[in-house]
Chains A and B, each alone.
Chain A
Amino acid sequence: MNTAIYTKSLSDSRRSLLGWTLGTATIGMMYASTYPSQKENTASLPEAMREALHTDATAAGYLQTSVFGLIVPLLATIYGTATGSRTTASEEESGQLDLLLAHPLPRSRLLLQRFGALVTGAVAVSALVWVAMLAVRGSADLTSITPVEFLAQCVNLALLAIVFGALATGLGAASGRRVVVLAGTAAVGVLTYTAHAFAAQLGADWLARLSPFHYYIGSEPLKHGFQWADVSVLAGTAAVLVGLGTAAFARRDVNS
């Protein structure tokens, strides 16, 4: 199998990928390190407020609202979107796709190898976040969370980035336009995050089930470890999105 596209995608993005991995891990580590000082604050919050924030005074509760509830998934989502928009849409818009697709490779191979590079990057980012968490686990008083539980959350983090990457890839493959990718992914991101955050208050739990964020953190992997059903839903969603994108891409005209 000719893997030239995959290799080139990775080597082209090596600098930005290095930035994403180090940046995300550093930010995650910084936030996680504040747990000892935040513990008291959280404990002193009124019960109702803690409920609203989905938090409690435990290490897992704190990380679920701060590090893994907001900052890191936001970065992962942006990583997925930005990288996914480069699967085909950016190059198609600048007319560069003609040249590659005039070579003896099926369009699906271009798409899947680029997406493969995206997956590799998402795994690298999450892996380093995991390493960063293990690095501060002792000093930041996070020992109530086992390394496996951290790993479970980080796997979901990678899958979250991959789902948004798949959405961006699919939209780009179907439309060939970057603006569709960015607007579409941003809209889905905001709506599904909101659905995940407020479904409980609205008394509409079914709404949360439409959100990838629900499968990412809803079952609290930091407390309960791997949730294979959630993992499958995220992986399955990504596969379906990329599959649909590949089918649409194979069928249409390439813009020059």
Chain B
Amino acid sequence: MENAIELRELTKTYGTRRGLAGLSLEVCAGEVFGFLGPNGAGKSTTIRLLLDLIRPTGGTATVLGLDPRRDGVELRGRVGYLAGDFVCDGRQNVRTYLRFLAALRGGVPQERIDGLADRLGLDQSAKIKKLSKGNRQKVGLVQAFMHTPELLVLDEPTSGLDPLVQQTFLDLVSEAAAQGQTVFMSSHVMAEVEAVADRVGIIRDGRLVALDTVAGLRAGTVRDVRITFADPVPEAAFAQIEGAQQLRLDGHGTTLTGRLTGSPDPLVKALARYTVTGIRLTEPALDELFHSYYAGAEAAPRTTPAGTATTAGTAGTAA
């Protein structure tokens, strides 16, 4: 089997509200897929469709080669799921509750649960109700990972986690991927996904608007450049370089600064003819690219005061 998830023209309407508007997407087995989008884009809707918690209005979804509706039980046995707003019965302590959830899956080794809880710093003797938001989120993470599922479907997994635990979580994802598990995780933040994801999909208004590898996305973005030369360089030396239209030489012809769009490769090749004394290329600002996809979303925040913004659907002015 090649694809862990296959979505074809998936639509979902809630009464008259749009949930998804024709989403097609493939997630390969063994990859880490980052699923990004602004609030209300349809991320949670997609994820809940995968687990047969809700049913599509149109289109088809195939998960691990199974139809969620027909083979829901088998499918869910092979998937670990963390809901976007993880809530659970809070009356018992963490250990008892995790054991109950494990029993629903026919049992999970206690060492596995203990190991995960220890790594995340989760106190299993605490009553769930009394836990802080972040610690409750850890319960959700442990239950999603504990049975080492073939596919992890995680809806905003890092919400509420402190930076150290976020890092532990990213380690868990990398380890899962190294073992051949597939990870499908949604997020609002490019920075957290780009560290672990092989590919990223961006969804807006119920549709996929971008799909690429992290490297590919990066290739289309802008970097700040500063290069110094030992000897003055002819003014037109870099004029023909692809993506270098915004680069400028200073008066002495020894310092090149500005912004480079796309791959740095053509510029690097052109530089080889001169003696370079210093070079600085900043990391591409992926977030900026991401923002350009965010802006214009129906649900994106507006800078116009609420009273004047009467028509929904006009492009947002926030960016």
Contacts and interface: CB of A to CB of B under 8 A. Distances in A.
Contacts of B103: 2, 4
Contact of B105 (A12, A95, A103, A253): A103
B72 A99 contact: no
B104 A105 contact: yes
Contact of A256 (B44, B76, B100): B44
Nearest to A94: B87
Interface in A223-256: 253-254, 256
A95 B85 contact: yes
Interface in B202-249: none
Interface in A89-129: 91, 94-96, 98-106
Contacts of A101: 51, 53
Nearest to B86: A99
Interface residues of B, number: 29
A3 to B, nearest CB: 9
Contact of B73 (A5, A99, A106): A106
Nearest to A8: B100
A156 B91 CA distance: 34
B184 interface: no
B48 interface: yes
A253 B17 CA distance: 15
Contact of B48 (A96, A98, A103, A105): A98
Contacts of B88: 96, 99
Interface in B34-64: 44, 48, 51, 53-55
Contacts of A100: 104
Interface in A1-30: 2, 4-5, 8, 12
A96 B76 contact: no
Nearest to B74: A104
Interface residues of A, number: 21
Nearest to A253: B54
Contacts of A98: 48, 53, 83, 87
A4 B100 CA distance: 7
A4 B84 CA distance: 25
Contacts of B101: 99, 103
Nearest to B140: A99
A12 B275 CA distance: 76
A4 B140 CA distance: 19
Nearest to A252: B55
A136 B105 CA distance: 48
A103 B81 CA distance: 8
Contact of A104 (B89, B100, B104): B104
B266 interface: no
A76 B189 CA distance: 53
A96 B53 contact: no
Given A102-B51, A103-B105, A104-B104, A256 B73 contact: no
Contact of B53 (A5, A12, A256): A256
B55 A99 contact: no
Contacts of A12: 89, 91
B104 A256 contact: no
B55 A102 contact: no
Given A106-B73, A253-B53, A95 B104 contact: no
B86 A104 contact: no
B77 interface: yes
B251 interface: no
A2 B44 CA distance: 29
Nearest to A103: B104
11 contacts: A4-B100, A4-B104, A91-B89, A95-B87, A98-B53, A99-B83, A102-B79, A105-B73, A106-B73, A253-B55, A254-B54
Given A96-B89, A99-B143, A253-B53, 20 more contacts: A2-B103, A2-B104, A4-B100, A8-B100, A12-B91, A91-B89, A94-B87, A95-B83, A99-B86, A99-B140, A101-B53, A102-B76, A102-B79, A102-B83, A105-B73, A254-B48, A254-B53, A254-B54, A256-B53, A256-B85
Q: Which 4 A-B residue pairs are closest in the complex by CB-CB distance?
A: A104-B77, A253-B54, A4-B103, A102-B81
